[in-house]
């Protein structure tokens, strides 16, 4: 499951966050005849579990957003809290062997 801490931060800003588990159908890399569907030249398909995150952001945040402006205090707070540290970012690292 995705890290819910990011969703909690968005909820504090009146954003709506929803999570849904789904499967991504990825064609298998053909390395042998066993990788084809029976009787066809199409590769077999693997189901990979993924999380779909849906975020609804209020217009007031979309309208005032400007790439040239960044709140330096908020950036400094994030760096001090270690939010840029890759070890704190969680994901599907435990499921890499799928």
Measured between alpha carbons, how far is 53 from 17 in angstroms, rounded to an integer?
A: 7
If you average pLDDT over residues 10-19, what whole number do you get? 90
- Let me know if residue 97 belongs to a domain: no
pLDDT, tens digit (0-9, with 9 covering 90-100), for 74-92: 777 777 877 666 655 555 4
- Domain span at residue 78 reads 4-86
Q: How many domains does the chain have?
A: 1
> 36-55: string of b/e by CB count within 10 Å (b at 16+)?
eeeeeeeeeeeeeeeeeeee
pLDDT band at 95 (very low <50, low <70, confident <90, very high): very low
- Let me know if residue 91 belongs to a domain: no
pLDDT band at 16 (very low <50, low <70, confident <90, very high): very high
Q: Which of 84, 64, 98, 90 is nearest to 4 (CA)?
A: 90
Percent of the chain with pLDDT over 90: 26
- pTM assigned to the model: 0.50
């Amino acid at each position: 499951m995705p890290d819910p801490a990011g969703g909690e931060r968005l909820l504090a800003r009146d954003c709506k966050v929803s999570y849904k588990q789904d499967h991504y159908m990825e064609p298998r890399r053909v390395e042998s005849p066993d990788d084809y569907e029976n009787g066809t030249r199409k590769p077999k398909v693997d189901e990979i579990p993924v999380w779909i995150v849906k975020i609804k952001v209020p217009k007031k945040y979309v309208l005032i957003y400007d790439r040239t402006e960044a709140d330096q205090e908020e950036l400094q707070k994030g760096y001090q809290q270690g939010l840029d540290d890759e070890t704190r970012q969680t994901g599907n690292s435990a499921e890499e062997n799928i």
